[in-house]
Structure 1
Amino acid sequence: MAPGRGQPEPQPGDLIEIFRPMYQHWAIYVGDGYVVHLVPPSEVPNSGPGSIMSVTCNKAVVRKQLLREAVGNNEYRVNNIMDGKCRPRPVEDIVLNAEIQVGQTLPYSITSKNCEHFVTGLRYGKAKSQQVQTASTWLAVAGGVAAAAGVLLATTTSSRRRQQQ
């Protein structure tokens, strides 16, 4: 477990981005070496691509654990991703609201109620996921490219048929 070079030590209320294979997991630092995070049943540190199975879950548990245990062998960084756009809530409120939810089972959705939504909701009062927004943008671009390719193929095929007639 190691933060990126030059990364500050986490402070209470900081968002922690954990780099798992193929995706990022998010937690919120609550002090004394602990984080609180939303954990679907398949989210296990060091489990590799198998953790991506969280896409099939509809419930997750709010867990408090040592940062080093949540991170496992993965890298992490402090990433208060929306600080430039949103004002963080008071640290005491962030930590208290995180601690109150420990042990609760909450609805989970990879697209609308994931671990990043959970921690940004705690820090900013607005549940957002940059990961989902980025994936949605890529899917929209890929869909547009596929549609354009389909139109081009249909046009080319139609043009060839006319030439053969």
Structure 2
Amino acid sequence: MAPATPRPGDLIEIFRLGYEHWAVYVGDGYVVHLAPPSEIAGAGPSSLLSALADKAIVKKELLSVVAGTDKYRVNNKHDDKYAPLPPSKVVQQAEALVGQEVPYKLTSDNCEHFVNQLRYGVSRSDQVTDALLAVGVTVGVLGVGLAAANLFSFLLNRSQQEKQ
């Protein structure tokens, strides 16, 4: 099955090694995206260095250049939750930001926050939410494991003391 042909205002999810990069399609093969210094197509692990950046540039580039050899798809995944803005408004807002240097934070101002703000007027990143949830679950599981180990140790010590 061929990927959906992007339409102006569509969100494009680009699958990088270890994360997804996001852009908004503005027509004629071009996307607008938030590009920290290390966000280059096919950069692989070095793109993860974007986590250290505190500024990014809004760029308008060909989707084929931004994606490089990485796979991508149209992913307007929040259309059922939020009403998308009219495509002309999404494109107009995106193009008005091209060339600007903007704050960048992996947890609150990343490329996914950027495109969701443009399409829905809502700044959100499921990658961040999912990562924080995974950390919370891991901490929770470790906490339960430690509590169980402490309880087991307490009961074992108590049992040994009762035998004496």
Q: Do they fold alike, i.e. is TM over 0.5?
A: yes
TM-score after normalising by structure 2: 0.94
1:37 to 21, 24, 33: 33
1:74 to 70, 76, 84: 70
Q: CA deviation at 1:162?
A: 2.4
TM-score after normalising by structure 1: 0.93
Q: CA deviation at 1:132?
A: 1.3
Q: How many residues align?
A: 161
2:93 to 92, 97, 107: 97
Per-residue Cα deviation, 1:98-151 (whole angstroms, up to 9, x for no partner): 011011111111111110000010011111111112112211111110110110
Is the partner of 2:23 in helix, strand or coil? Answer: strand
Is the partner of 1:8 in helix, strand or coil? Answer: coil
Once superposed, what is the RMSD of the aligned Cα atoms?
1.1
Structure 2: runs of 5 or more not aligned = none
Structure 1: runs of 5 or more not aligned = none
Q: Give distance in 2, aligned partners of 1:87 and 1:133.
A: 21
Identity %: 48
Is the partner of 2:94 in helix, strand or coil? Answer: helix
Matches within 5 A, 1:39-54: 39-54=35-50
Q: CA deviation at 1:56?
A: 1.4
Is the partner of 2:56 in helix, strand or coil? Answer: strand
Matches within 5 A, 1:1-165: 5-165=1-161
